[in-house]
Structure 1
Amino acid sequence: MKTKFRPHSRLIRLENQAGRFVIHGMGRWYHHWRDPYHLLLTVPWLGFVAIVSLTYLLLNTLFALAYLAGGDCLEGARAGSFSDAFFFSVQTLASIGYGAIHPKTFYANSIVTVESIASLLLIAVLTGLAFARFSRPIAKVLFSNFIIITTHNSQPTLMFRVANERHNFILEAHAQIYLIIDEVTDEGEFMRRIHELKLLRQRTPSLVLTWTLMHPIDADSPLYGLDAQDLQRLDANISVLISGVDETVAYTITARHVYATQEILFDRSFENIIHKSDNGDRYFDYSLFHQVRPSSTIVEQK
């Protein structure tokens, strides 16, 4: 069964923050116009096509105005017609050249020369950007909706699940998790501190289906002695980073996820997603991937 994913908002909101143009929405992508290369790589495809289309129309508009500034310089075009000049610019920029309209003055030929150079640069840049977007490795790693803290082998343990949505091999998969909390130093200064949490197994030879990661909460753990109210007071977040090599494309891929305080559940257990059929075969029910149930044991920290 297919796993249901949490939907993302498809609304786009534009905001000016201290002189910076920020775009929100479409998977929470955003960037500043000061770094257009990064913006064009990270914006969703709909935004990328929109930006390219607007740029193309604006460029042709500028060249159309340049042709109109030269007076009657285009043979076959109506004098002073913006539409004729605009579509002649489109034909020139795209190297179509129907021939119905052509330059007849030195000024018009000069503008055509400049536009031809701009066309070469534009095509080269867009080809490079499109290739970079297609070739950029993207991890399809699914994280459980919740982190649970329950008893495992008679010890309080933090647990969560990850799954490889592509069902191919992620080789030498490596996991790192960090606890991020508010702390006050001995001098009374507030700071946001990051603590690395040690895992029972930090690396797996291959991530194909699912992987349950566990952090034992012992006396050395930053979570030792903390309950749900403490985590809320400390505004705790847990950041997860998964990396490995995608066997299909031989690229190193990374995936990250952040759990908020309300997504850390105490005294819960994950529903079992591995089932055994009568003939001895095992199968995975991903419809239960995010499901939790009350734990049969109570977490105690001594």
Structure 2
Amino acid sequence: MFIKSRQVTTNRIVRPDGGFNVVRKGLPSSYWGDLYHVLIRIQWHKFILLITCGYLVANALFALAYLCGGDGIENAKPGNFFDAFFFSVQTMASIGYGAMYPKTYYANFLVTIESLLGLLGLAMATGLMFARISLPKARVMFSNVAVITPYDGVESLIFRVGNERQNWILEAQIRLTLVRTEVSKEGNIMRRFYDMPLVRSNSPVFALSWMVMHQIDQASPLYGMNLEKIIENEVEILVTLTGIDETVSQTIHARHSFIAEEILWNMKFVDILSKQRDGKRCINYSHFHDVIPSSKDL
């Protein structure tokens, strides 16, 4: 019997998609105080919408400025906003069709300013586009659940990681951290972090899948804990992966976390690796998240 995993996004620091699930309040600076960082991080559709709105607003303002100077554009209808707007578009983009052109000192002065701002705006927009496109991003798949089951006679926490790209992640390293709520003798509530050593924490070439294992021995922060204690202590297991993308030769990062609802006892992952008739290895991602009862429960 296959058990399908479930996604839970409450009471956690890191969301399943790798984003932070923390609300920040009381910061002295505004969200837009670090504009470059915001423009790099926002989603593509928001970035395109912001650039488009900025472009239209800038041309609209210059159109109003041209209209304030009276009849300063040759072959444009006096007082017509749309003629002034499209003349501004041609000027800012350095198109210069020739049908409309400035005929007064005031209009030529505005054209000079707009041409300069257009060059600067084009350079900045191009730089931002390149920075966003060239920003290395990991396409790493984490299993929706982690399992606790015996492996080689030792109770172990196990989850699966897969590389979704058709290339290698070189010198891949995984770090596991347990976060739980503790109360000090003075009654102070705090979130404590504990390192969780792995059976294998690095891989020279990460191309297919990776079974990440943490042995629950006496040195493990999970030792002696059951599901009720994990829920009571608000335990969250943070996963961070770093490596070098061989295609772009840049460091990539990926994050994930598991909470109590995503940790299953006495289950094991379905085998997804096989060999084809020609001897090539095959990985079946359609069963990447599936688990079945471990042998002792069959």
Note if contact 1:200-1:216 (Cα within 8 Å) is conserved in structure 2: yes
Q: CA deviation at 1:111?
A: 0.8
Alignment-mate amino acid for residue 66 of structure 2 = Y
2:256 aligned counterpart, secondary structure: strand
Structure 2 residue identity aligned to 1:139: A
Q: Work out the CA distance in 1 between the residues paired with 2:158 and 2:97.
A: 66
Deviation per CA, 1:32-55, whole angstroms, max 9, x where unpaired?
Answer: 222221121112222211111000
Shift of 1:104: 1.2
TM superposition shift of 1:18: 7.0
- Indicate the residue corresponding to 2:90 in structure 1: 91
Query: Could you say which residue in structure 2 is the equivalent of 1:66?
Result: 65
Q: Residue 251 and residue 72 in structure 1: after superposition, are their counterparts in 2 closer, same or farther (change >3 A)?
A: same
Secondary structure class of the residue paired with 2:225: coil
1:43 — aligned with what? 42
Q: Residues 93-112 of structure 1 correspond to what in structure 2 (within 5 A)?
A: 93-112=92-111
In structure 2, C-alpha distance between the alignment counterparts of 1:109 and 1:19, rounded to whole Å: 48
Q: Deviations over 1:109-128 (max 9, x none)?
A: 11111101100110110111
Q: In structure 2, what is the equivalent of residue 148 of structure 1?
A: 147
Cα deviations across residues 47-92 of structure 1 (Å, max 9, x unaligned)?
2111110000000011011111111111111111110110000000
State the Cα distance separating 1:213 from its structure 2 match: 0.6
Residue 254 of structure 1 is matched in structure 2 by 253
What secondary structure is seen at the aligned counterpart in 1 of 2:171?
strand
State the partner residue of 1:82.
81
- Give the aligned partner of residue 166 of structure 1: 165
Look up the match of 1:28: none
Rounded Cα–Cα distance in structure 2 between residues aligned with 1:130 and 1:54: 16
Query: Counterparts of 2:139 and 2:270 in 1: how far apart (Å)?
Result: 22
Change over 3 Å in CA distance of 1:236–1:49 after alignment to 2:
same
Q: Which runs of 5+ in 2 are unaligned?
A: 1-6, 8-23
Residues 212 and 130 (structure 1), Cα distance of their counterparts in 2 relative to 1, 3 Å cut: same
Q: Shift of the alpha carbon at 1:185?
A: 1.3
What is the CA deviation profile of residues 171-196 of structure 1, one whole-angstrom value per residue up to 9, with x for unaligned ones? Answer: 11111011111111122100011111
Conserved 8 A contact 1:167-1:209: no
List, as ranges, runs of 4+ consecutive aligned residues in structure 1 with deviation greater than 3 Å: 17-20, 276-282
Match of 1:296 in 2: 295
* d(CA) in 1 for partners of 2:278, 2:119: 64
Q: Residue 164 of structure 1 contacts residue 209 of structure 1 at CA under 8 Å; is this kept in 2?
A: yes
Q: Percent identity?
A: 48
Deviation at 1:169, TM superposition (A): 1.3
Q: What letter corresponds to residue 32 of structure 1 in structure 2?
A: Y
CA displacement, residues 92-142 of structure 1 (integer Å, 9 cap, x when unaligned)? 000001111111111111111110110011011011101111111111111
Q: CA RMSD in A?
A: 2.1
More contact order relative to length (CA 8 Å, sep ≥ 6): 2
Kept after mapping to 2: 8 A contact 1:172/1:206: yes
- What residue number does 2:222 align with? 223
**What per-residue deviation string (whole Å, max 9, x for no partner) do you get for residues 230-281 of structure 1?**
1111111111111111112111111111223211111211111123456765
Residues 150 and 297 in structure 1, CA contact (< 8 A), matched pair in contact too: no
Q: Which amino acid aligns with 1:273?
A: I
- Using structure 2 for the length normalisation, give the TM-score: 0.87
Residue 134 of structure 1 aligns with an amino acid whose one-letter code is: I
Residue 16 of structure 2 is matched in structure 1 by none
